[in-house]
Each structure stands twice: as C-alpha cells, then as structure tokens.
Amino acid sequence: MSTGHLTIDLDAIAANWRSLDAQTASETAAVVKADAYGLGAGRVAAKLAAAGARSFCVAATEEGAAVRAAIGPGPAIYVFSGHMIGDTSLVRDNALTPLINSVDQMLRHVEALPGHPFGIQLDTGMNRLGLEPSEWSALRAIALDLKPALIMSHLACADEPSHPMNAQQLAAFVEMTADIDAPRSLSATGGILLGPDYHFDMTRPGVGLYGGAPFDAAIPVVTLDIPVIQTRDVAPGETVGYGNTFTATRPSRIATISAGYADGLHRALGNGLMVFSGDVACPVAGRVSMDLITVDITDLGHDPDTLTLLNARQGVDAVAAVGGTIGYEILTALGARYARSYAG
Ligand SMILES: *Cc1c(COP(=O)(O)O)cnc(C)c1O
C-alpha cells in the first residue's frame, strides 16, 4: 500500500447528527453537499437515513441524484441552487425539492413541473442566494398558494455568536415569514448553537456532522494514515526538500511520507504542521510537495511504518489553522488518491 489511507467513521457521523438533533426541538436535516464535504455522500446519506434523518440538502441537482440513488425513495432532498436551466428531468426523476432563489426559477419550476414540490430560499442579508425582500413581496401570495415544502434562509456570521448580523438576519427572517403556514429553516451548524430562537422547524447542519468547528463537542470522524516510503539521516547543515527551506541543525532523521498537495494537503501546511506516531508529534520539515511530505522524526527514536495526519488529537480545524484556512476546506480537499475505508 503506497497511498495514504483515510478512515471515515460513519458511527461518529451518526452520533454527531444525533447530538445536534438533541439540541433542538426541530427536525434535523443533513447537509451532504460536495460529496458530504468530501467524505462520500452515498455512504454518509445512507447511514444518516438509517439513523433517522428524513431530509437531506445538496448544492446541485446532480448531487441530489446521487444521494437519491443511495437512500432510495422517501426522504426529502433539498437543492440549494434551486431549479436551474437543464435541471428539470433530474428534479422530476429523482424527486428533488429545489429551493427557489429567484422569480425566474419560480416561473421555470411551475411551468416545467406543475405540482412538483419546491421550497423557497430568502435572502436575509447575506446577498448570496435567495429572493430579496421586494421580490418576495411580489411573489409571496402566488408561492404560498402552491404550498412550499420549506421556507429557508442562511446566516452569514453564525460561527461568531456575538456578531450583530445574527440578530439582524433573524429579525429579517421573522419579518419575511410572519403569518406563514409553511415549515421554516434558518440555521446550519453555527445557528443551532445560537439557541432556540434560531431553530424554527428544521435545522441544516453540515460541518458539525463531520467533526468540524463550530460544533466543538463533535466526535472526530476522519483518520488519515500516511505510509513512510523512506527514512534517512541528515547531517547538520544539510537541507531538505524544494527551495532548501529546512536546514538540519543537529544530526537528524527524516521520513518521507506518501501524500502531498495533490492529496489536498495544501502547500501552506509546510509551515508548522505536525504528524503523529502514536502520541508523539513530529514536525513537517521543508516544503509540502505534490506527492510527498518530509517529516523530522529525530525525537521519535525509531523509524515508523506510517504517520498520522488527522486523528482525534489533530482534527481538520487544527490542520486548517496551520494553513490559514478553515476545517471545511481541509475536508472538501481530501484527495481522491487515498484508499478509503468506512467504519460503522
Ligand atoms: C453549506 C450550507 C449549510 C451547512 O452549513 P454548515 O456550516 O456546514 O453546517 C446549510 N445551509 C446552507 C444554505 C448551506 O449552504
């Protein structure tokens, strides 16, 4: 085995879904867009459907079709990008529920698929997707007559609980949906943690299911073990890797492991990333290259067969912090080259 090995703990994902579900009196959907944040939408959705999830969310209709194939008929699959040109047959054949974002999408949907379920996405200030308040005023009576399956919006700053944008968007959402007899949804992972005012009828966690911040109580989901290809002694004054950015200051032992930026381990991680042998943290030495990372294992005292980059000690957010990014990006970048196995 020469590639890295990614282990995805489906039981941990189900446990995270249950504990987010237990924080609200609302239904808890599961966001499985971007191939379940890189972890495998089919496997994840099937596991969560078995655990009791009755609604799933994806970004695009193509993703929705893959999720439908994995879970079969029954659960709702909401599509954040709505009903786009060319989507009609996928929406119909896979019983997807587009979340309508514009007047154009509304017209397209009712003309192409009259009677087919849809939801409404409202813009409450993020200015990314959804109907603006003025568009909603114009469309509201017609849309409500057609009994939308869901009316939702999305928070821009929910990972910062004290940000005034949260209350501002909540007030806008309440105002735009007052006196409406349809299920409402405002919150993703961060919004769940803001408390019951933000929960409405359904929540839509994604990253928290996969062990990421801001759900600090999440159970870790991914383990990434990378085989050591070669080890060598490096004398003081010798350098390691591209650009000679690491110079040995003592007699050193260097291990070369089989993963790099082509596997989603961004080049920026060369500055300070640790990999683990058991409980011992070993620093990356020199630049991350395309397929290889060099590690200073001098203090380990032996040559390991593998080193671990993601585990319970070092999750996606800790790795992200080294690279100046967020756990979401580390997860969704996890490479196609890893051997993958699922636990649970
Ligand atoms: C991605 C997304 C979610 C899930 O967000 P997390 O922060 O991963 O929980 C929910 N709703 C919408 C509209 C999204 O785009």
Mutate which of 27, 44, 58, 80 for ligand 1 pocket (most atoms within 8 A of beta carbon): 80
Write the pLDDT tens digit of every residue in 76-112: 999 999 999 999 999 999 999 999 999 999 999 999 9
Asked whether residue 274 falls in the same domain as residue 171, the answer is no
Give the atom of ligand 1 at the shortest distance from the alpha carbon of 204. 10
**Which domain covers residue 103, as residue numbers?**
10-210
CB atoms near residue 231 (< 10 Å)? 14
Asked whether residue 149 falls in the same domain as residue 252, the answer is no
User: Averaged in consecutive runs of 10 residues, what is the pLDDT profile of the chain (344 residues)?
Assistant: 93 98 98 98 98 98 98 98 98 98 97 98 98 96 97 98 98 96 97 98 98 96 98 98 97 98 95 96 97 98 98 96 97 96 94
Q: Which residues pair with 232 in a beta bridge?
A: 254
Of 147, 175, 210, the position where a domain reaches its end is 210
147 is catalytic: no
Q: Are 206 and 215 in contact (CB under 8 A)?
A: no
Asked whether residue 177 falls in the same domain as residue 244, the answer is no
Which residue, judged by its Cα, is nearest atom 1 of ligand 1?
206
33 is catalytic: yes
Of 177, 210, 243, the position where a domain reaches its end is 210
Give the atom of ligand 1 at the shortest distance from the alpha carbon of 59. 15
Identified catalytic residue from 47, 242, 261, 342 = 242
Write the pLDDT tens digit of every residue in 210-234: 999 999 999 999 999 999 999 999 9
Which residue, judged by its Cα, is nearest atom 3 of ligand 1?
188
Q: Map residue 133 onto helix, strand or coil.
A: helix
Asked whether residue 104 falls in the same domain as residue 200, the answer is yes
Distance CA 12, CA 280 (A): 24
- In this structure, what is the dihedral angle of CA atoms 209, 214, 217, 219, given to the nearest 10 degrees? 40
Of 189, 210, 231, the position where a domain reaches its end is 210
Asked whether residue 173 falls in the same domain as residue 51, the answer is yes
> Ligand 1 centre from 299 Cα, in Å?
42
CATH number, domain containing residue 252: 2.40.37.10
Q: Is residue 215 part of a domain?
A: no
Distance CA 28, CA 181 (A): 19
Domains identified in the chain, total number: 2
What is the structure's pLDDT at 263? 97
Give the atom of ligand 1 at the shortest distance from the alpha carbon of 33. 1
CATH number, domain containing residue 98: 3.20.20.10
What is the structure's pLDDT at 271? 87
DSSP letter assigned to residue 243: G
Distance CA 289, CA 279 (A): 25
Q: Is residue 5 part of a domain?
A: no
> Ligand 1 centre from 137 Cα, in Å?
25
Sequence letter at residue 108: R
What is the structure's pLDDT at 1? 63
**pTM (predicted TM-score):** 0.97
